[in-house]
Amino acid sequence: MEKEYTLETDDRVGYLYALAGGDKLTAEISIQYWNVIAEKCFELGRSKILIEKNFVESVTPAEMLEMAEHLGKLLPTWRIAFVDRYGHDSINELGKKLARNRDIMMQTFNNLKDAERWLLAN
C-alpha cells in the first residue's frame, strides 16, 4: 500500500525541520508522521521542531483533538513552530490551543523565516 503522505526531515542548527504533505490530512496520517518526527528528534537529541505542512485538505476539529491528544503524550514540553502552506488558519489556531493545553509550546506562522526566528529565540 502506498503512503498517503510525504515526509522530509532535515537536522538544522538547534532544531529539526520537517515538511509533511499530501492531498488530505487525517488524524491517522498525522499520528504516523509525528511518530517518525519524534523518533528522529530522540535520535538527534532535539526538542524543537519547525514543521511545514503542505496538505491540500486539512482535518476536522474532532480529528484535531485526536491529533493533539497524541502529540501531548508524545512530545510534552517541546517547542513547535508551525507553518501551513495552504493557510488553514482556523483549524491551526485550534490545534495550537489544544497543544498548549497539553504543555506543548506551539506557535503558528505564515512563513519559515518568522517561525525559525521564534523557535531559536525560545
Per-residue pLDDT band at 1 (split at 50, 70, 90): low
Say which residues have a Cβ less than 8 Å from residue 117's Cβ, sequence separation at least 6: none
pLDDT tens per residue, range 28-42: 999 999 999 999 999
Alpha-carbon torsion (2, 59, 24, 9), positive or negative: negative
pLDDT at 81: 98
Fold entry, domain 6-121: Transcription Regulator spoIIAA (3.30.750)
pTM, rounded to two decimals: 0.94
